[in-house]
Amino acid sequence: MWSAVKSGGRLRRYAITAIAVIASLIVIGRITGILVDWLWFSSVGYDRVFWTILSARALLFAVVFAVSTGAIWLSGILAHRYAWGVDISRAEAASPSGTREVTGDLADLFAPRVPWRSSIACAAVVFGLLIATSEISNWDIALRFVYQVPDGGRDPIFGRDISFYLFSLPAYVALKNWLLWLVFCSAIVAGAVYGLRGDIAPQWPAQKLSPAAITHGSALLGLFLVVKAWSWWLDRFLLLYGDNGVVVGASYTDVHVKLPVLWMLVGLAAASSVALVVNLRRRSYLLPAALALLVFGSSFVCAVIYPPLFQRFYVKPSELRLETPYIEHNIALTRHAYGLAQIAVKPFEAEQALTLDSLQANRATIDNIRLWDVQPLMDTYAQLQEIRTYYKFRSVDIDRYQLDTGYRQVMLSARELEPAMLASSAQTWVNLHLIFTHGNGVVMSPVTEKSTEGLPSFYLRNIPPVASGGPAIHEPRLYFGENQQDYIIVKGSVAEFDFPKGADNAYTTYSGHDGVAIGSVARRSLFAWQLDDANILLSDYITHESRILLHRDIQDRVRTIAPFLSLDHDPYVVAANGRLFWMQDAYTISQWFPYSRPGFGDSANYIRNAVKVVVDAYNGTVDFYVSDPADPILRTYERIFPGVFKPLDTMPPQLRQHVRYPEDLFLIQAQLYRAYHMDAPEVFYNREDLWQFPRELVGMDGGSAASTMPPYYTIMRLPGDARAEFILMLPMVPSQRENMIAWLAARCDPSGYGKLIVYTFPKDRLVYGPFQIEARIQQNTEISQQISLWNQMGSRVIRGHLVVVPIENSILYVSPLYLRAASGQLPELKRVIAAYGEHVVMEDSLGEALAALFKESARAASPARGTEDARAREALAHYDRAIERLKAGDWTGFGAELDALRRLLEALGAGRSDNQK
């Protein structure tokens, strides 16, 4: 028996030792993680952000843990002190037989043996840790509540500033939830103590609860009802986030039924809590049960059953009349939450008046019609410009540059390093972390041009980048990019691979500013522990000057510095001042904007593109520029993190020229605008003018599938404007129809950045939509026969995206067509399909397609008169020469022929007028 006792003692000591070791490792891991984060934040210049977030999290954890642990411990200690079984000898003496009257099994088993105070303390600490850990994530809510700024707008029901909903209400809801959990855990601990001490004994014939348990339960129930009263008071504001299928926000039933019911429940819960205070002396278990039944029964009947009945039998029969004011609130505040109220509406006549003169006047638009789609171009880049297997183009970006040839839209992609593509025998620790450290350069091509073989023309190509009309790049190395997940160590004793150079390789040494010094043994030990990589400590290649580069993925880098911002899915690379930069759009979002329809993410209903982030691809420096200074959420963050955000005007001009309207935001706004362009409640209620995104055919022909047309960037001259600009646009079609009804544009150039315009077509005129044009292309005998022939000859035809090109007050449609060998990976741009009005043509190039298209249109519009007038023949000759110049891309000659044709036609017109006189 003694050996068993000793064995049990050893097991207990081993268990305590194991727990202590595990706890120590967890604590050490936390401390080293914080230390590594601090070193990294300091290296990038954002240590104040680190300390602000860490302090907020630590303070929130400490406060919640201390209050929660203290309250739960107090509840348990009070239960232990006043439970019947606390003085066992006195209870036994009070019994005639000398034994306790309390004979519950749990009490007899546990009461004499349990170390009550230490057990209650342990339970309180465990519950406190669980609650505090779950509340750490609310650090952002707490800081925004403390530093909030007013918005200026007010909700239409309660008249409160919108900032109350964005900042205060989330904090109140989080506080309420914490208090409910606190009362609940306190009740669990107290109930466990009373149960184990015998104060809750179901076998008693007279009563099931001791007076102490009744008193304690009444106090806890009273506290719960006080918190619940506050919860119902907060629920009044949560009515502004409801959705009954007609109104998003507070509806007629919410305002006229649910709101009074909530006030009633607040009063009932408050009165019941007062009655429970009185019950602390009476100690009746019937009163708390009756009050709980009254409060929660009333809540079920009045808040759950009655409102749907009222909605069905009173509101539904007169729904439009009763809900009209609330539909107006929903429309107005949703438009404000998504920035739709600033969209300018302009008419677009959609005339059939496009001529060769129009093409000449809109040369900047014609020169920038995009013929290269992202996926075929990426495949082509991979085959022609990856150079080595360990390089990879991860995405193709669309941008514009002011080049010698003019304002040109281009497509470009960064040549990044892909260490996983190294030969398996070469994937050593030294190669992966010290030698192969960076990508090299970008490839750039114009969106319209192609070679005679159907391949893209290049403005930038090869390693190092060679400029052929594109911007010169003096520092092409990319140490930071997309999907750069692993760390690297620079300035070691081994040189870094730079680029392949014939039979040899070129090497370099990092001279940038980024990185955390790891030259000392202490630093190396720290990072070896934190990154779980002993090679950092053992390697001889690491010197006193060595630095470790972390968070090399640009989105991970930005999220680490600013976790409170949401990021656009598509960062894009920019070549400026001979260097490479990454531009990342960042958003402030919220799900707490009143009366606004959730449109994305986790029920978020407010968004602003508040920040433009610039990351240096070589140095890794991160700069945050304010693009929406009116956003109240961003203004609050500016108060929380002073010095982090810079005015957009301070962005270098060469970079600001490449700021563009983000596609994610545009898609969200376009999605909401489909319905919320209707500002009349009756029209909105009936969905009379609901729009949708158009469809198009993409993919392998014969297997082409209808898909939703995405928005796309283009350079064009907006109707009525003097110059072409870079815009993001998307056509719109009516619901359940295919004809085009409008197109939405977002301006990207600095002079008009952020302005949204919707051009609406006349409703009494048919304008072909993209899918109708696709049908006409499919029905064209010449085109369909040629596609079928190619598919039968071992090639695969790839249908590119159809591009809608507004020119002045007319619409032109252009679609590329690619060929790829059945077993090949190199798509070639072989044909261009163009459509205008009733005519569809397919030619080798865009110039030839436009020439054929408008020659056919001119013939259809001008029937032959049979005259042999010399001036008419001369005019036709000028016209034919203009077409030839257009095919050849000779815009100067094209313009000269048009000028000659205009003079001749004016003379013909004047002669006709003289004859009529």
Query: Could you tell me if 29 and 178 lie in one domain?
Result: yes
d(CA 164, CA 324): 25
- The model's pLDDT over 119-150, given as tens digits with 9 standing for 90+, comes to 899 999 999 999 999 999 999 999 999 999 99
Residues written for the chain? 917
Query: Could you tell me if 154 and 59 lie in one domain?
Result: yes
Q: At what angle do helices 891-916 and 870-888 cross, to 10 degrees?
A: 160
- Percentage of residues in the chain having pLDDT higher than 90: 68
Mean pLDDT of 780-798: 85
Query: Could you tell me if 664 and 650 lie in one domain?
Result: no
The yes-or-no verdict on residue 284 having pLDDT over 60 is yes
For residue 88, the model assigns a pLDDT of 40
Q: Are 809 and 351 in contact (CB under 8 A)?
A: yes
Query: Could you tell me if 417 and 516 lie in one domain?
Result: yes
Kindly indicate the confidence band of residue 600, based on its pLDDT and cuts at 50, 70 and 90: confident
* Residue closest to 73 by CA, chosen among 129, 142, 143: 129
Query: Could you tell me if 643 and 665 lie in one domain?
Result: no
Question: Mean pLDDT: which of 153-162, 353-362, 882-891 is highest?
Answer: 153-162
For residue 205, the model assigns a pLDDT of 47
Task: Give the total number of structural domains in the chain.
Answer: 5
Q: Tell me whether residue 374 is in a domain.
A: no
For residue 85, the model assigns a pLDDT of 56
Q: Which of 37-51, 329-343, 412-426 has the lowest mean pLDDT?
A: 412-426
Kind plus residue range of the DSSP H or E element containing 632:
helix 632-640
Q: At what angle do helices 870-888 and 846-861 cross, to 10 degrees?
A: 160
For residue 607, the model assigns a pLDDT of 97
> Residue 472 in 3-state DSSP?
coil
Backbone angles phi, psi at 873, to 5 degrees: -65, -35
* Residue closest to 790 by CA, chosen among 661, 851, 700, 915: 700
Two structure tokens written together for 220: 């806890």
Query: Could you tell me if 452 and 403 lie in one domain?
Result: yes
- Close Cβ partners of 506 (under 8 Å, ≥ 6 residues apart): 498, 499, 500
Kindly indicate the confidence band of residue 10, based on its pLDDT and cuts at 50, 70 and 90: low
The yes-or-no verdict on residue 804 having pLDDT over 90 is yes
Kindly indicate the confidence band of residue 387, based on its pLDDT and cuts at 50, 70 and 90: confident
Kindly indicate the confidence band of residue 824, based on its pLDDT and cuts at 50, 70 and 90: confident
Query: Could you tell me if 309 and 285 lie in one domain?
Result: yes
* Residue closest to 790 by CA, chosen among 819, 832, 823, 763: 819
The yes-or-no verdict on residue 773 having pLDDT over 50 is yes
For residue 874, the model assigns a pLDDT of 66
Checking 846-852 for CB contacts under 8 A at 24+ apart, the result is 846/366, 846/369, 846/371, 846/448, 846/814, 847/886, 847/887, 847/888, 847/889, 848/887, 849/814, 850/359, 850/366, 850/886, 851/883, 851/884, 851/886, 851/887
Query: Could you tell me if 449 and 301 lie in one domain?
Result: no
Q: Tell me whether residue 853 is in a domain.
A: no
- The model's pLDDT over 636-657, given as tens digits with 9 standing for 90+, comes to 999 999 999 999 999 999 999 9
The yes-or-no verdict on residue 98 having pLDDT over 50 is no
Q: Tell me whether residue 851 is in a domain.
A: no
Q: How far is CA 456 from CA 373, 637, 828, in A?
A: 11, 45, 8
For residue 71, the model assigns a pLDDT of 95
Q: Which of 605, 629, 656 is the last residue of a domain?
A: 656
> Residue 373 in 3-state DSSP?
coil
For residue 894, the model assigns a pLDDT of 72
d(CA 805, CA 713): 11
The yes-or-no verdict on residue 622 having pLDDT over 80 is yes
Q: Which of 243-257, 317-331, 810-824, 893-907 has the lowest mean pLDDT?
A: 893-907
Query: Could you tell me if 577 and 675 lie in one domain?
Result: no
DSSP labels, 584-614: EEEEEEES--TT----BTTTB-EEEEEEEEE
Query: Could you tell me if 226 and 126 lie in one domain?
Result: yes
Q: Is the dihedral of CA 438, 441, 447, 450 positive or negative?
A: negative
Mean pLDDT of 79-89: 65
**Residue whose entry in the numeric block shows the structure tokens 């170390």:** 115
The DSSP code for 248 is: B
Mean pLDDT of 228-249: 96
Give 214 or 638, the one with higher predicted confidence: 638
Neighbours of 447 (CB within 10 A): 23
For residue 95, the model assigns a pLDDT of 45
Q: Which of 281-285, 512-516, 535-539 has the lowest mean pLDDT?
A: 281-285
Q: Beta partners for 821? A: 795
Mean pLDDT of 482-503: 90
Mean pLDDT of 390-399: 94
HEC string for 515-532: CEECCCHHHHHHHHHHCC
- Percentage of residues in the chain having pLDDT higher than 70: 89
Two structure tokens written together for 200: 């809750």
Mean pLDDT of 766-792: 89
For residue 288, the model assigns a pLDDT of 87
> Residue 663 in 3-state DSSP?
helix
> Residue 69 in 3-state DSSP?
helix
- Asked if residue 464 has a cis previous peptide bond (ω within 30° of 0), the answer is yes
- Residue 358: give the domain boundaries: 338-367+660-845
Kindly indicate the confidence band of residue 93, based on its pLDDT and cuts at 50, 70 and 90: very low
Cα 338 → chain centroid: 14
d(CA 271, CA 263): 12
- pTM for this one? 0.88
For residue 863, the model assigns a pLDDT of 43
Kindly indicate the confidence band of residue 703, based on its pLDDT and cuts at 50, 70 and 90: low
Kindly indicate the confidence band of residue 704, based on its pLDDT and cuts at 50, 70 and 90: low
Q: Where are the alpha helices (DSSP H) in 198-258?
A: 211-238, 252-253
Kindly indicate the confidence band of residue 206, based on its pLDDT and cuts at 50, 70 and 90: very low
Mean pLDDT of 397-423: 93
For residue 28, the model assigns a pLDDT of 80
Kind plus residue range of the DSSP H or E element containing 356:
helix 356-361
Q: Tell me whether residue 731 is in a domain.
A: yes
**Residue whose entry in the numeric block shows the structure tokens 């105070």:** 117
Q: Tell me whether residue 381 is in a domain.
A: no
What is the phi-psi region of residue 882: left when phi exceeds 0, alpha when psi lies from -120 to 50, beta otherwise? alpha
Q: How far is CA 858 from CA 183, 807, 887, in A?
A: 82, 17, 16
- The model's pLDDT over 706-764, given as tens digits with 9 standing for 90+, comes to 789 999 999 999 988 889 999 999 999 999 889 999 999 999 999 899 999 999 999 88
Q: Tell me whether residue 424 is in a domain.
A: yes
- Close Cβ partners of 81 (under 8 Å, ≥ 6 residues apart): none
Query: Could you tell me if 126 and 167 lie in one domain?
Result: yes
Q: Tell me whether residue 826 is in a domain.
A: yes
Q: Beta partners for 725? A: 716
Query: Could you tell me if 128 and 245 lie in one domain?
Result: yes
Q: Which of 605, 633, 656 is the last residue of a domain?
A: 656
Q: Where are the alpha helices (DSSP H) in 531-573?
A: 535-538, 554-561
> Residue 740 in 3-state DSSP?
coil
For residue 871, the model assigns a pLDDT of 57
Q: What is the mean pLDDT of the chain?
A: 88
Backbone angles phi, psi at 728, to 5 degrees: -115, 130
Cα 532 → chain centroid: 32
Cα 513 → chain centroid: 30
Q: Tell me whether residue 839 is in a domain.
A: yes
For residue 100, the model assigns a pLDDT of 43
Q: Which of 656, 676, 709 is the last residue of a domain?
A: 656
Backbone angles phi, psi at 290, to 5 degrees: -65, -40
Q: How many CA atoms lie less than 13 Å away from 160 in the CB half-sphere? A: 15
For residue 827, which amino acid is it?
P
